[in-house]
Amino acid sequence: MLEYAYYPGCSLEHTASPYDKSIRAVFDALGIGLHEIEDWNCCGATMYMSVKKIVGYAISARNLAIAQNMGMQICVPCSSCYTILRKTNRHIAWDLKERAKINEALKAADLSYDTFVEVRHPLNILVTDVGLEFIASKVTNPLDGIKVAPYYGCQIVRPHGYFDDVDDPVKMDQLLSALGAEVVDYPTKVRCCGGMLMTTQEDVALALNLTLLEAAVDNNADMIATACPLCQMNLEAYQSKINKAFHQNFHMPIVYFSHLVGIALGLKPKAIGSDKLLIEPEKLNAKAREVSV
Amino acid sequence: MIDRLEPFPKEEAELRAAFWEQVGSFPEGYKIKRCLQCGTCTGTCPVSYAMDITPRQAIALFRAGHIEDVLHSRTIWLCASCYSCTVRCPVGIRVTDTLYALKRIAMEQKIYPPKFPVHTLSRVFINNVYKYGRNYELGLGIRYFLSTNIVKLFTNIGYAWSMIRRGRLGLIPKKLKNINQMHAIIKKANEFGEG
The confidence band for B114, taking pLDDT boundaries of 50, 70 and 90, is confident
The count of C-alpha atoms lying within 13 angstroms of the C-alpha of B35, restricted to the half-sphere facing its C-beta, is: 24
Question: A126 lies in a domain?
Answer: no
Same domain, A81 and A176: no
Searching chain A, which residue's CA lies closest to the CA of residue B85?
A: A159
Rounded to 10 degrees, what is the CA torsion of A196, A228, A188, B76? 30
Helices (H) and strands (E) in chain A, counts: 15, 8
Longest dimension (CA), chain A: 63
Determine the angle formed by the axes of helices A282-292 and A257-264, rounding to 10 degrees: 20
Is pLDDT of A15 > 90? yes
pTM comes to 0.94
Q: Which residues of B touch A51 (CB under 8 A)?
A: 103-104, 107, 119, 122, 126
CATH classification code of B10-109: 1.10.1060.10
The pLDDT assigned to B5 comes to 67
* pLDDT tens-place string over residues B150-163: 888 888 888 888 89
Is pLDDT of B25 > 60? yes
Name which of A105-109, A237-241, B5-9, B115-119 the model is least confident about.
B5-9
Searching chain B, which residue's CA lies closest to the CA of residue A205?
A: B47
B84 lies within 8 A of chain A by CB: yes
Distance from CA of B90 to the nearest CA of A (A): 14
B71 in Cβ contact with B110 (< 8 Å): no
Distance from CA of B100 to the nearest CA of A (A): 5
- Beta-bridged to residue A35, according to DSSP, are A5
The pLDDT assigned to B194 comes to 59
Q: CB A42 to CB B118 under 8 A? A: no
B31 in Cβ contact with B91 (< 8 Å): yes
Same domain, A36 and A158: no
Same domain, A25 and A150: no
Q: Where are the domains of chain B?
A: 10-109, 119-190
B157 lies within 8 A of chain A by CB: no
Per the structure, the complete domain to which residue A99 belongs is given by 3-120
Distance from CA of B1 to the nearest CA of A (A): 39
Q: Which residues of A touch B174 (CB under 8 A)?
A: 13
Same domain, A110 and A213: no
Give one word for A80, left, alpha or beta, with left for phi > 0 and alpha for psi -120 to 50.
alpha
* pLDDT tens-place string over residues A160-178: 999 999 999 999 999 999 9
Q: CB B46 to CB A208 under 8 A? A: yes
> How many structural domains does chain A have?
2
Q: Which amino acid is at A11?
A: S
Q: CB A104 to CB B188 under 8 A? A: yes
Question: A49 lies in a domain?
Answer: yes
Q: For an interface test with B, which of A14, A111, A243 has the most B Cβ atoms less than 10 Å from its Cβ?
A: A14
Q: Which residues of A touch B177 (CB under 8 A)?
A: 39
> Which ipTM value was assigned to this complex?
0.91
Same domain, A88 and A145: no
Same domain, A51 and A143: no
B141 lies within 8 A of chain A by CB: yes
Searching chain A, which residue's CA lies closest to the CA of residue B178?
A: A39
**Which of A95, A120, A145 represents a domain boundary (last residue)?**
A120
B78 lies within 8 A of chain A by CB: yes
- Beta-bridged to residue A119, according to DSSP, are A74
Question: A17 lies in a domain?
Answer: yes
Q: CB A101 to CB B192 under 8 A? A: yes
Nearest to B135 among A10, A107, A158 (CB): A10
Same domain, A153 and A39: no
d(CA B132, CA A81): 17
Same domain, A81 and A169: no
Nearest to B26 among A51, A91, A197 (CB): A91
Nearest to A14 among B137, B182, B185 (CB): B137
Same domain, A195 and A263: yes
Longest dimension (CA), chain B: 70
CATH number of the domain within which A96 lies: 1.20.1050.140
Nearest to B27 among A52, A90, A237 (CB): A90
When pLDDT is averaged across residues A59-85 and rounded to a whole number, the result is 96
Searching chain A, which residue's CA lies closest to the CA of residue B83?
A: A159
Helices (H) and strands (E) in chain B, counts: 12, 0
Same domain, A182 and A261: yes
The pLDDT assigned to B55 comes to 96
d(CA B26, CA B30): 9
d(CA B60, CA B22): 18
Is pLDDT of B43 > 60? yes
Give the closest residue to A259 by CA, choosing from A247, A269, A248: A269
Same domain, A100 and A157: no
As a whole number of Å, the end-to-end CA separation of chain B is 38
Interface contacts (A, B; CB < 8 Å): 191
A71 in Cβ contact with A2 (< 8 Å): no
Q: What is the DSSP string of B12-61?
A: HHHHHHHHHHHHTTSTTGGGGGG-----HHHHH-TTGGG-SS-HHHHHHH
Q: How large a percentage of chain B has pLDDT more than 90?
A: 67
Same domain, A139 and A115: no
Nearest to B188 among A44, A50, A108 (CB): A108
When pLDDT is averaged across residues B42-66 and rounded to a whole number, the result is 95
